[in-house]
Amino acid sequence: MFFKINRNYFIEELSKCNKIVDYKSSVPSYTAIFIEVEVDKISLVSTNTSVSIKTSTFVNKEGLEIKEVGSFLIRGKNFIEILKRMDDEIISINKVEKNIITLSGENSEFLLNVLDENDFSQITFNETGEFFEIDTAEFKKGLNQTIISVNEWNQKIVLQGLNFLTEESIFYITGTDGYRVSRKKIVLDRSVDEKLSANVPFKSVFEIIKVLNDKNKTKIMIHDSLITIISNNTIIQSTLLEGQFPDVKGVFPTDFNSTIYVENKAFFKLISRADIPSEENTSTVVNFILDGETIIIKSNIQQIASFEEEFKNFELRGLDNQNIYFNSKFILESLKSFETKVVEISFIDSKTPIMIASSEDLSLSQIILPMFSN
C-alpha cells in the first residue's frame, strides 16, 4: 500500500471519522479508523454502536496519487495530531511491514505501528434505493430545534430519538418526552411516493449534526432498519429505534383563548431571571400570571430565594386573564430554538398545553404541557 495525499484535506477527512470513534469502548472496531486504498479511490471508515461513517476521495482530487492498493487500521487521535504537527502540503503513506507504515514529508519521516486490520469488522453501506433531498443547513437546524424535547433515557424506547416522517412533499422532524413536543416541517422539492417513517436514536442525531457540512444538499434514504444520509463525499448510516412513534398531531391545540406576542430575547431574559440559579442546578417552577396589561412572573426555591417581576412589553390577542405554572427549562429551551425576533405564545387554560410559534418562521412549533399549580 502506498499513496500520496494533501495533508490538510486528509486531516479534515480523518477528523470527520474520528468524531464518532469511542476510545473507551472494549469493541476494537469502535476505537479506530479503517483506511482502504483501492485502484481509483481511498475510503476512510469508522463506526460505533449507533452510527457508521464512510468518506471517499477519488484519485487526482486533493493531491491523491495511488501507487499500490492495500489498507490499514489506526487510532485516529494521535495520527491526526502527528499530521497536524507536520508542515508539508503533500504527505506519503507507505506500508513497509504487516503492521508498520511510514508517514513522510519532504525532510521528515515517521515510522508508525498500526493496529491489526482483522480487528475491524467490515461494514456494508446501503447507498441505493428511494431517497429525498434537503438543504443540509436547514436539516441540521431542524435537528437542533427538535432534539431539545428528546430524553435519551426515556423509558419508552421509541421516544429515545427523533421521528423522521415524509407525507407527500412535507418532511417532519418530531421529538417528544411526553411533556413537550418539538416539530419541524420542511417543504421538499418534490413529493415522496411512499410515506416513510424512521426513529433516529438521540446519539445518532448528534453525530449527524457534528459530521454534516453545511454546504451542499443531503440525500436521505430510509430502509427497514437503517437510515442512510449522503452529503458530498460522506455517507452516514444509523440504526433505527423500533416501535410506533405516537401521532402527535392530536396534541397540537388549535383554538386558543389568549395569544401574547413578545420580543424573544427580552422574554427569554425575563424567564432566565425566574430560573433562579442554585447549587442543585434544578429547574424552577415558574408562575405566569396574565392580568390585563401586565404579565407577572414569579418563582421561588424554598429556603434559598424568590423572584417576582412585572412585564408590560407585549401585545395581546384574546382573553386578558391566565394563571399557569411551567418548568422554566422547557420554556427557555423552546424560546432559544427560535431565531426570530418575535414569538407568539398561545394559551387555552391552566391545564392545556401551550404553543410557542412565530409568524416569522412557520416551520417550527413547540408545545409545552403546564404543571399542576402548587
Residue among 87 and 255 whose Cβ is closer to its own copies:
87
Sheet order of strands, 217-222 included: 70-74, 33-37, 41-47, 51-58, 234-239, 226-231, 217-222, 132-135
Q: Between residues 169 and 306, which has the closer beta carbon with respect to its own copies?
A: 306
Residue pair 233/55 in contact by the 8 Å Cβ criterion:
yes
User: 127 vs 308, which CB is nearer to its own copies?
Assistant: 308
Comparison of 149 and 328: residue with beta carbon closer to its own copies: 328
Enumerate binding residues for its own copies (CB under 8 A).
Answer: 75, 77-78, 81-82, 85-87, 107-113, 269, 272-273, 276-279, 303-311
Q: Give, in order, the Cα–Cα distances in Å from 214 to each of 135, 187, 332.
A: 8, 18, 26
Residue 176 near residue 202 (C-beta atoms within 8 A): no
> Between the CA of residue 7 and those of 38, 93, 100, 101, what are the distances in Å?
19, 11, 20, 16
The crossing angle, in degrees rounded to 10, of helices 7-18 and 76-85 is 160
CB of 78 to its own copies, least distance (A): 4
- Least Å from the CB of residue 46 to its own copies: 18
**Residue 310 or 339 having the CB closest to its own copies:** 310
Least separation in angstroms between CB 338 and its own copies: 19
Query: Helices 136-146 and 202-211 meet at what angle, rounded to 10?
Result: 140
Residue 31 contacts residue 78 (beta carbons within 8 Å): no
* Residue 77 Cβ vs its own copies, minimum distance, rounded to whole Å: 8
Cβ contacts of 92 within 8 Å, gap of 6 or more: 2, 3, 4, 102, 103, 104
User: Within a 10 A sphere around the Cβ of 10, how many other Cβ atoms?
Assistant: 25
| Closer by beta carbon to its own copies, 143 or else 297 | 297
Count CB atoms within 10 A of the CB of residue 244.
9
CA angle in degrees (0–180, nearest 5) for 335-338-340: 115
Toward its own copies, which CB reaches closer, 24 or 190?
24
- Please, which residue, 111 or 170, has the CB nearer to its own copies? 111
Shortest separation between residue 288's beta carbon and its own copies, angstroms: 15
Kindly state the smallest distance separating residue 312's Cβ from its own copies, in Å: 8
Shortest separation between residue 141's beta carbon and its own copies, angstroms: 26
Cα separation, 373 vs 287, in Å, equals 8
Residue 370 CB, nearest distance to its own copies (Å)? 23
Q: How far is the CB of 72 from its own copies (least distance, A)?
A: 14
Of 31 and 176, which has the nearer Cβ to its own copies? 31
Asked whether 264 and 343 are in contact (CB, 8 A), the reply is yes
